[in-house]
Amino acid sequence: MTTTTTPAARPLAPRPRGGVAQSLADSLVVARRNIIRLTRIPEMIVFGIVQPVMFVVLFSYVFGGSISVGGSLSASDYREFLMAGIFAQTVTFATAGAGAGIADDMHKGLIDRFRSLPMARGAVLTGRTLADLVQTTLTLVVLALVALLVGWRTHTNAAEVLAGFALLLLLGYAFSWIGALIGLSVRTPEAATSGGLIWLFPLTFVSNAFVPAENMPTFLRHVAEWNPFSATVQAARELFGNLPPGYVTPDAWPMQNAVLASVLWSVLIITVFRTLAVRKYRSASA
Closest CA to 249 of 213, 205, 204: 213
- Give the DSSP H/E element, type plus range, for residue 185: helix 158-185
Q: Domain extents for the chain?
A: 20-285
pLDDT of residue 6: 47
Torsion angle of the four alpha carbons 246, 250, 251, 255, in this order, in degrees rounded to the nearest 10: -120
pLDDT of residue 84: 92
pTM assigned to the model: 0.85
pLDDT of residue 252: 92
If the chain, 286 residues long, is cut into consecutive pieces of 10 residues, what is the mean pLDDT of each piece?
A: 47 53 82 80 75 79 67 71 90 82 75 70 84 90 88 92 96 92 84 82 89 86 94 95 84 94 96 91 68
| Contact residues for 282 (Cβ-Cβ < 8 A; gap 6+) | 121
pLDDT of residue 268: 97
Are the beta carbons of 234 and 213 closer than 8 angstroms?
no
For the chain, what is the radius of gyration of the CA atoms?
A: 22
pLDDT of residue 71: 58
Buried b (16+ CB within 10 A) or exposed e, 212-235: bbeebeeeebebbbbbbbbbbbbb
| Contact residues for 4 (Cβ-Cβ < 8 A; gap 6+) | none
pLDDT of residue 215: 80
DSSP-derived secondary structure letter, 214: G
